[in-house]
Structure 1
């Protein structure tokens, strides 16, 4: 039994190392990784050596720093290609792109960390008009905070109350001048989202960009959020009623496919 627990613990620590390198988005030294994770350098070195041998990390011969390896890229590419849920949604999202000539995002809840970390979302799909000059960030695979985006606020609105209650002690980071940084204000907005069934944001993540989002459910469980994003000047010039109707029809079609 002890050996099994040790093995599971090693897997968890290896996963923490990969997550740390991903979040830093840069090569990191052994000392920085150990300090960032609160682990012994000897433990981190042993795990990095194993991960390096398997191709999950590489070591820069000039600096001895570590980064994410090619094998993760290959695995990620395969997941992206074979994710049935995203593939089901893409044709419906493409219709919205053709109708509005704006970017459609498909996001999913990111696994919750400890109560000392804010809820985040994972961008699993992005469909764009290839002729648009403006590229709406972030890229597929990005993990972002929920409180400052329409899609993220959709997730928070339909999350169990305990998710927010246990994290009210945490500050809400400001991304722009429009970002909500008050828990009371955020919770009032989430109550409105639950009542109306959609969320909006104007410049809360990035100045000059807006977004409208609707939640997608499987039974009673939120599984993804469908959103349309673009320059505020274009998106808010659209007929709001028609836009919401289009998003809700797309949501209903996706839920029927996933039923």
Structure 2
């Protein structure tokens, strides 16, 4: 994740000279955010980011002072702070498309009573911006704000399938780490799966991210190269061929309706 941040700030890609202190701050926050409820020791942070402990300790104290990082009473463990939550909430509050898309997810859930998601491609990951849970299958945590590798999720794969060459490569890490025994970790196999996805118009995550779940996703094509998608997650134990066809068709129909609503907004200056 730190490598992605550095790449995004690299002058060779953006034409902007990197400010090292700012890049380091972002790397620290992203590292802590990715650990979710697992705090990190100073030594772990130092080794993971390749930063001397002395300078890292000063940075952590500064971030803690302003609420971006929190520490335990001994100053041994560090985690993401409440200011990061406020910034993330602000992103959701100001996203121009989310208020338009969320009602369609509600409609899908009411119609089919499955779990539906709205996600956006960001670097190597997909970020979940909205989730509507099925009454039949409640997950123990909310996915909103969660990041998952694009190559292991239906949301991510349908967006990767719309890209080719260097554009696709920029969103796939050199090493594909398995999240389950079913995750595609061979780049040739992944590219073949993405070719199939592109041809049929939807992606399938067959227990590649979570054992026991199959997910289906379609891209939202209001941008020339889509960055957003919607998906459905269904436990395999109660998934039939007929149900699969119903869910995919419902996703396609709703995606078409979303594109007709959001497309004009995007063409007049949407930011995604």
Q: Distance in 1 between matches of 2:60 and 2:249?
A: 51
Q: Distance in 1 between matches of 2:178 and 2:60?
A: 34
Counterpart of 2:132 (choices 122, 127, 133) is: 127
* Structure 1 residue 59 corresponds to structure 2 residue 59: no
Q: Distance in 2 between matches of 1:234 and 1:136?
A: 19
**Cα distance change, pair 216–31 in 1 and its aligned pair in 2 (3 A):** same
Residues 150 and 199, structure 1, Cα contact 8 Å, conserved in 2: yes
The residue correspondences of 1:177-196 to structure 2 (distance < 5 A) are: 177-196=181-200
Displacement of 1:38: 0.8
Describe the superposition over 1:197-216 as per-residue Cα deviations: whole angstroms up to 9, x where unpaired: 10112222222111111011
Q: Distance in 2 between matches of 1:20 and 1:133?
A: 30
Q: Distance in 1 between matches of 2:253 and 2:78?
A: 46
Residues 103 and 136, structure 1, Cα contact 8 Å, conserved in 2: no
Runs of 4+ in 1 over 6 A off after TM superposition: 166-169
Structure 1 residues 238-247 or 184-193, which shifts more? 238-247
* Structure 1 residue 10 corresponds to structure 2 residue 21: yes
SS of alignment partner, residue 181 of structure 1? coil
1:234 maps to which residue? 238
Structure 1 residues 43-52 or 185-194, which shifts more? 43-52
Describe the superposition over 1:47-83 as per-residue Cα deviations: whole angstroms up to 9, x where unpaired: 2222112111122113532221122222323333443
Displacement of 1:141: 1.1
Residues 150 and 172, structure 2, Cα contact 8 Å, conserved in 1: no
SS of alignment partner, residue 44 of structure 1? helix
Displacement of 1:87: 1.5
**Cα distance change, pair 233–27 in 1 and its aligned pair in 2 (3 A):** closer
Counterpart of 1:20 (choices 31, 50, 59) is: 31
**Cα distance change, pair 239–132 in 1 and its aligned pair in 2 (3 A):** closer
SS of alignment partner, residue 99 of structure 1? helix
Describe the superposition over 1:122-173 as per-residue Cα deviations: whole angstroms up to 9, x where unpaired: 11110123x3343286621111112222112112111342144578883322
Unaligned runs of 5+ in 2: 1-15, 264-272
* Structure 1 residue 256 corresponds to structure 2 residue 260: yes
Structure 1 residues 182-191 or 73-82, which shifts more? 73-82
**Cα distance change, pair 169–152 in 1 and its aligned pair in 2 (3 A):** closer
Structure 1 residues 88-97 or 239-248, which shifts more? 239-248
**Cα distance change, pair 227–166 in 1 and its aligned pair in 2 (3 A):** closer
Tell me the TM-score normalised to structure 2 length. 0.81
* Structure 1 residue 33 corresponds to structure 2 residue 49: no
Residues 118 and 129, structure 2, Cα contact 8 Å, conserved in 1: yes
Q: Distance in 2 between matches of 1:213 and 1:132?
A: 20
Describe the superposition over 1:91-133 as per-residue Cα deviations: whole angstroms up to 9, x where unpaired: 11111111110000111111x2xxxxxx21111110123x334
Unaligned runs of 5+ in 1: 113-118
Describe the superposition over 1:195-249 as per-residue Cα deviations: whole angstroms up to 9, x where unpaired: 1110112222222111111011223121211001111133334344443322111
Describe the superposition over 1:7-44 as per-residue Cα deviations: whole angstroms up to 9, x where unpaired: 93211111111111112332222232122111122321
Structure 1 residues 82-91 or 235-244, which shifts more? 235-244
